[in-house]
Structure 1
């Protein structure tokens, strides 16, 4: 789901000799969609008719630098942190500029107010300094979101805070939830100084379209006798994107975890139909959505772990990863499938914190192997599907860390899917995930058991897939049951796949043994390299259509024996004839 926004901007000079207001909106590039939109309005502080334009310069550079640099900050920065640091740098530059006298020897006055709003996921974040303002119209009610930094007294009237006024910048920060239908407004004091709050609310309620509302506000301000520049920036929320990691983490902190739900219990419109798994940390339930009748899977923390902030952060990260993979490039999928179970964004009005996944009937590879090994064709299908999913995952900068038969699922629709991103690592994974030595020991590559251990990487997933493929073909683990740090197990090469399962062709044997090699440098480097090897192997098994069949080794040997016997008989006949009496 994509964020959809309608914007309108109107800025009128009014009775001033120049317009020293400046405002703008910056949309994210396609690869920056999760970072959201950012908008800002600045009102340059004028020195009157003889102003040298420093106020306009301050307003323009402050807005433009924020819009230009906002999407370039590290992805794991909180929105308020990003705006605080970017505007802090701008303030330091303006303050240094103001310490130097102008060309005419007069002090510089490069000062400006600024109100900025970032729309990210399903939340907004405000940063504000000065007496420009931000408003929110929701459900017909108009709310002022900022407080003026201005003092009005008989002996003094002016700003108490502004960009460029002091070496240290103090911004007001606030944040809140966004809803479809919200209308946000940024105004300079040329608008709200001439219009009452009720008049501004009436315009926002009655005007259709963001641009029409912005035009109506500035025109009304000048008609009401405004002596200042009048600027209005209107933002209409048409649709919301899937929640970002910050949104999900906030939900994880705010909402309680469900209690010990049993069959028949209901939760936010879902009725539990079965308890599927309970691993001591999470519970997995099958449930039916009452409104549609479809089956889903609900994943939640067990009551004993419900108050653990690290576990909550990891579950939020798992939901975020699932939503992100759903937006993966189509060219990396097969038949529109990402190779992962689809996760659903938390519904508006959710009362508890949990994850909702599509439900797929079928069996895990672990369940299938309980009936015996896979045949070659089944194993190749499995390996190709999982390698393709890992390619997608690694391209997104994510390492799964727990590839094993229990986490590979063959659905009733014939699709293999990778399960459980609970311990997956990404650049934005919580600190607890990075500190956790995750995975199942028998599927972990030996480098992670060394001293010092190497961190899990994409190669770790490929090694685990190799171990899984070996087990799928032979029913055995290549290095046996591994206990943590049991490096001695890796001092011998495992038995070849075809030795344990003679029906496995040698090319597939070599592929699997390369994937699980003791030395990392001899293994596959990327999932795409492994996938290419699998595709070549599958193509090699196709019969040639035009080439005549070659005689087999057994047939050639038979002809050679017949020829040798014939030659021997001929030699004996010649010898007999030569010694006959004449």
Structure 2
């Protein structure tokens, strides 16, 4: 789901010699939709004829809009606003300490009100006497408080950008809803129009631009002596919830209690209990409105009150939604399922409990398939190629799975392999507790994580785990045996090659798998793309070997038979030679 916003901006000079208001909106690039939108309005302080106020307003708004999407993606929106405006304030304050060309003090000051819209929430940052408003369900609410002192002997701003070395911003945040109309105004508008008039104009305008035009025109008609600027943002559709939204749901909503077959939860009827690992329960359910099957993942009652477990589940939902929005150029045409991960659904607006909803796919996990014996080379090769593609997408999003193993790889009845369970995956937004957690199954964890000090998991950890999984899929054995935590002795000898245990495995595939599980990290594949390329080349060689036309008679002779015949002829010839030498007349 994409965030859809309608914007309107009107800025009139009025009776002032110049317009020192400045406002703008910045949308995210298509591949950065999760970063959200940002809008800002600044009102330059007219303390001199040098135009310092206009310069302060313009540079403050433009620098914020320019840099908002350039900061680390894991920064909270309020933190981004605070950091960027803090840097701008420091620059303006330093500028004001230097005398102007005429030797007079500089007065590059401005008010500023900024709003960032991410996921389903907004974040406000405000300094000065510009204002922010929210019209929701017909009611208009003022979101900011003026930093202005009004007395008989003095009237002026108590806070502004560039006024002091230390900037004190007012911050606030709230939920967004479809139909919300946000408004930013300079004091040339709200200084002459009452709150009731502003609300009536917002309600009576059909579009964001019409509302902005109506507000500035009404302000000048009411006798405003200042520049009049209005920036209107209409929320037409909301994006999938961000991590902050999901974490908030995890804190507020209760976890479902024990659910039996036939129980109904938020429009889902439970049809089967699929798994229970002591932390989570996985249920199959049918959505009553559509009849489709889904999977519900929830915390067990004994873990329901653990805030870290709730945060991990929120993070898993967020990662699933993020992967669904991954660029199509990286995963090819088709639906989000083409990414090789199970599609997760955003929590419904009316959800009464906290849980995750996934698509349901009939099929079996690799662990279940291996109960019937190892895979053949063709099946294992298809598995490796599919999972390597999925890891390429995952690592491009700067995410490490951390628990790749046969139980978390699923072959659907549609023939597609999918990676399951992002519950312990690491991203830039993972909490410190999640990072310190030594997650994963020991036998599939690369040896560097057992060293002292241990190395943190990275993309290479997933590639090692995939190599171990392929070895097990081809041979039915683990390359280094069952590993206990910190049992480094297991890694002192190279494992037996795949082809020695399964002679039918082609040597190119053998070499790929053995390189993926090499004891020395430097000898392994560095990226999922490199591993995928090696697997593709292995498949091409196997195909070429199978299609090669035999040299002798076109009937596919066994080369071993040819060598046996040659050896027999040689032995016979040598026996005849010995007999001739023995019976040669003297």
With 387-396 and 103-112 compared, the bigger mean Cα shift is at 103-112
Q: How many aligned positions are there?
A: 576
Shift of 1:546: 7.3
Aligned to 2:233: 235
With 264-273 and 547-556 compared, the bigger mean Cα shift is at 547-556
Q: Is the 8 A contact 2:31 2:327 kept in 1?
A: no
Q: Is the 8 A contact 1:394 1:458 kept in 2?
A: yes
Aligned to 1:531: 532
- Structure 2: gaps spanning 5 or more residues: none
With 362-371 and 298-307 compared, the bigger mean Cα shift is at 298-307
- Residues 84-120 of structure 1: CA deviation (Å, up to 9, x unaligned): 1221222222233333443334333222111110111
Q: Is the 8 A contact 2:447 2:488 kept in 1?
A: yes
Matches for 1:134-533 after TM superposition, within 5 Å: 134-333=132-331, 336=334, 337-533=338-534
The CA distance in 2 between the partners of 1:542 and 1:409, in whole Å, is 26
Q: CA RMSD in A?
A: 2.4
- Residues 272-312 of structure 1: CA deviation (Å, up to 9, x unaligned): 22222222222211121111111111112222222222222
The CA distance in 2 between the partners of 1:310 and 1:570, in whole Å, is 85
The CA distance in 2 between the partners of 1:35 and 1:549, in whole Å, is 62
1:2 lines up with 2:2 in the alignment: yes
In structure 2, relative to structure 1, the CA distance for the partners of 1:518 and 1:105 (3 Å cut) is closer
The CA distance in 1 between the partners of 2:213 and 2:34, in whole Å, is 30
Look up the SS of the partner of 1:322 in the other structure. helix
TM-score, normalised by the number of residues in structure 2: 0.93
Look up the SS of the partner of 2:482 in the other structure. coil
In structure 2, relative to structure 1, the CA distance for the partners of 1:108 and 1:404 (3 Å cut) is same
Aligned to 1:17: 17
Look up the SS of the partner of 1:198 in the other structure. helix
The CA distance in 2 between the partners of 1:559 and 1:106, in whole Å, is 105
Q: Is the 8 A contact 2:279 2:300 kept in 1?
A: yes
Look up the SS of the partner of 2:543 in the other structure. coil
The CA distance in 2 between the partners of 1:298 and 1:215, in whole Å, is 49
Q: Is the 8 A contact 1:341 1:417 kept in 2?
A: yes
Shift of 1:573: 10
The CA distance in 2 between the partners of 1:127 and 1:104, in whole Å, is 35
The CA distance in 1 between the partners of 2:468 and 2:408, in whole Å, is 13
Shift of 1:418: 0.6
With 272-281 and 289-298 compared, the bigger mean Cα shift is at 272-281
Q: Is the 8 A contact 1:317 1:430 kept in 2?
A: no
In structure 2, relative to structure 1, the CA distance for the partners of 1:494 and 1:139 (3 Å cut) is same
Aligned to 2:41: 41
Q: Is the 8 A contact 2:508 2:541 kept in 1?
A: no
Matches for 1:83-102 after TM superposition, within 5 Å: 83-102=81-100
In structure 2, relative to structure 1, the CA distance for the partners of 1:572 and 1:54 (3 Å cut) is closer
In structure 2, relative to structure 1, the CA distance for the partners of 1:56 and 1:432 (3 Å cut) is same
Look up the SS of the partner of 2:46 in the other structure. coil
Shift of 1:565: 5.3
- Structure 1: gaps spanning 5 or more residues: none
The CA distance in 1 between the partners of 2:367 and 2:567, in whole Å, is 51
The CA distance in 1 between the partners of 2:374 and 2:548, in whole Å, is 35
In structure 2, relative to structure 1, the CA distance for the partners of 1:130 and 1:339 (3 Å cut) is same
Look up the SS of the partner of 2:461 in the other structure. helix
With 393-402 and 306-315 compared, the bigger mean Cα shift is at 306-315
In structure 2, relative to structure 1, the CA distance for the partners of 1:495 and 1:211 (3 Å cut) is same
1:554 lines up with 2:561 in the alignment: yes
